Amino acid sequence: MNKDVIYIEPEDDITDIIAKIEKSKEKIVALVPPKKAGVFRSIVNIKLIAKAGAAAEKSVVLVTVDPSITKLAAATKLPVAKNLQSAPSVPEVEVEGAAGEQTIEDVAEPEDEDEEEKEAEEEVEEAVEESDEEADEEEEEEEETDEKPKPAKKTRKEHKGTKSKGSKFLNWIKAHKKTTIFLGVFLLGVIGFLIWAFGFAPAVDISVAIKAESKNFSEGITFTDQLSSEDAKEGKFYLEQKKIENAQEVNFEATGEKNQGDKATGDVVIYGYFDAKGVIAVNAGSVFTVNNLSFVSNSDASLVWDGKPSSCENSNDEVTDGHFQCLISGRVAVTAMNGGSNYNIPATPSGWSTTANIRVYSDKAMVGGTDKIITVVQQSDIEKAKGELTTAKEEENKKKLYDSIDQDEYYIIDSSFEQSTSNAEATPAADQEVTEGQKPVLKATTTATVYVVNKNKMQEFIRAKADLEDDQKVYEVKDIYVENFTDNGANSTAKLKAQYYIGPKITETEVVDKVKGKGLGDAQREIRDIYGVSDVGIDTSYPWVMTVPGDSNKVTVSFEVKDQDGKEVKEQSDEEKDDSGDKQEQTEDTSDTKDKAKEDK
């Protein structure tokens, strides 16, 4: 009959030995104790080994020549063999019971043998029950799957060791409370750090370098003075006028002269051939001029026929019914229009002209005119000063106007700049005397104007007309220029020129979706494979991060676009586009309000 030989280790305790006996598949179990095995020095342990063998229906044999172990085996009737080849037998040992001597039982067993045996049996039973439970669990797991690895079964020694170590650990905790608290806090901190370091802290910044290609743009465009008629995609833009007004003044020279001397006076003869029954009326203020000298009638005058037939042109005919043309004449007092001795003219029988429907001559001299020359403002002086205001400070006003315009939003058509002057007022006024030492002043409103066009609308047109492939987009439009502008109001035209940069059509979301959850090396390769990408850099939040997080919120992507010369290309963001759209809507609302106000007016 086969037997199972079990070599006991010095560190094995009673539970380990019993577990090995129960685990053996043979009916005969030979236990070979070590030289120094304290577990075999106790009668209680020998009894437990015998009891475990009987319970497991196995014949347990101790293989030893140690007399102390042999004596204890004899007391429990446990078979003993000197070696593995000899036949086992229950040893017979006689011990004298003289006074003052003890029996084998007395030597082997302490006074509290029963209590010690009871405690040992309880420990063994607990170990056996735990071993059985583990065996049952192991069998259930084997039935569920053959692929799962079998968990290591705890031996009775491990159970006892765990229990023993647990008790020692609890006692140590009680004795070192402060240290325990410190170690607990430290352990929680380490656990928290690990959770943070590998769960929350990992993040990456991905920088993508893109090489953009530059292209030139040139297209004819038109303008409209109605915002509602604008169509940027078709190249029709709203032409908006910006202006600033400045109250300005300038001193000027008066070049006019006027004679303020006394005016000459006299009278003139007025006459004409009329129907004899007619009455000739000459109004005050009628002007009579001779040799560029004008005289004005002082009062109204009414002239009638003197009744003499001799004064009629047909004097030989009988005057009947007033059908004869008779000479009607009279005198009118006049005063020179201006002062001056040059109006003192002698009697002048011819060369006169008049605003009245009559003839005139003078048969007496004009007298009384004297000279007094003064400086006065001429209208030509005022016009010249206005011209100086229009051109003076033009550059200053132009700069002020341009500075008031948001040039990030609007393109300024420089060739449309103009400056005009209105509401001019001269002091002294035209034909007024300028006193000695006085400098005439011209005050006027100077208005500087220029036309502007919304830049984003122009970029929209350029992007719509750009030469692109399906996988390309326009990154930046720059150097916008309008040439050959013709100001024809609603029919104004020009040519739009610019430079634009194109590159791959790629977004931050596309990059994140392509690389999240991948290793850093794989992520770099994935991005480099995108058309137009020249370089990729990935920075991690901490050195231990080796994978792109799966959470999109922990991945940031930035694009660096450069042209073929290495110069930066700035891409217009969606926020800028939206902002420009909001400003355009505000402009439209303002324009609509102005149009409605005009209609109401």
269 lies in the same domain as 137: no
Among residues 94, 127, 143, the one where a domain terminates is 143
Number of compact structural domains in the chain: 2
The strand pairing partners of 7, in sequence order, are 32
**Where is average pLDDT lowest: 100-114, 220-234, 530-544?**
100-114
Both tokens of 275, joined, read 């129907």
Whether 170 is in a domain gets the answer no
Looking at residue 131, its pLDDT comes to 46
What confidence category does residue 218 fall into, taking pLDDT thresholds of 50, 70 and 90? very high
Listing DSSP states for 62-81 in one string gives EE---HHHHHHHHHTT--EE
Helix axes 520-528, 508-515, angle to 10 degrees: 140
Domain co-membership, 139 together with 7: yes
Q: What would the mean pLDDT of 137-152 be, rounded to a whole number?
A: 46
pLDDT computed for residue 365 by the predictor: 94
Q: Is residue 8 within 8 Å of 37, Cβ to Cβ? A: yes
Say if residue 8 is in the same domain as residue 139: yes
Mean pLDDT of the chain: 78
Backbone angles phi and psi of 138, in degrees to 5: -65, -40
pLDDT value, residue 165: 58
- 154 found inside a domain: no
pLDDT at 446 over 70: yes
Residue 470 domain flag:
no
Q: Which of 107, 128, 143 is the last residue of a domain?
A: 143
**DSSP state at residue 169:** H
In a domain, 158, yes or no: no
pLDDT band at residue 598 using 50, 70 and 90 as cut-offs: very low
- Domain holding 298, by residue range, is 261-307+324-371
* Same domain for 266 and 138: no
469: number of Cβ within 10 Å: 10
Does the pLDDT of residue 76 top 50, yes or no?
Answer: yes
Eight-state DSSP code of residue 8: P
Dihedral in degrees, nearest 10, Cα atoms 348, 350, 355, 359: 110
CA distance 458 to 482: 10
In a domain, 180, yes or no: no
Write down the pLDDT at residue 158: 52
- 126, 143, 160: which is the final residue of a domain? 143
139 & 11 share domain: yes
User: If DSSP codes are grouped into helix, strand and coil, which group holds residue 529?
Assistant: coil
**567 is a domain residue:** no
Note whether residue 510 is domain-resident: no
Q: Give a yes or no: residue 382 inside a domain.
A: no
pLDDT 10s digits, 174-183 = 777 778 788 8
Q: Rounded to two decimals, what is the model's pTM?
A: 0.47
331-364 pLDDT, tens digit each: 899 999 989 999 999 999 999 998 777 889 999 9
Would you place residue 135 in the very low, low, confident or very high pLDDT band (cuts 50, 70, 90)? very low
- CA-CA distance, 244 to 197, in Å (whole number)? 61
Round to whole Å and give the CA distance between 277 and 274. Answer: 8
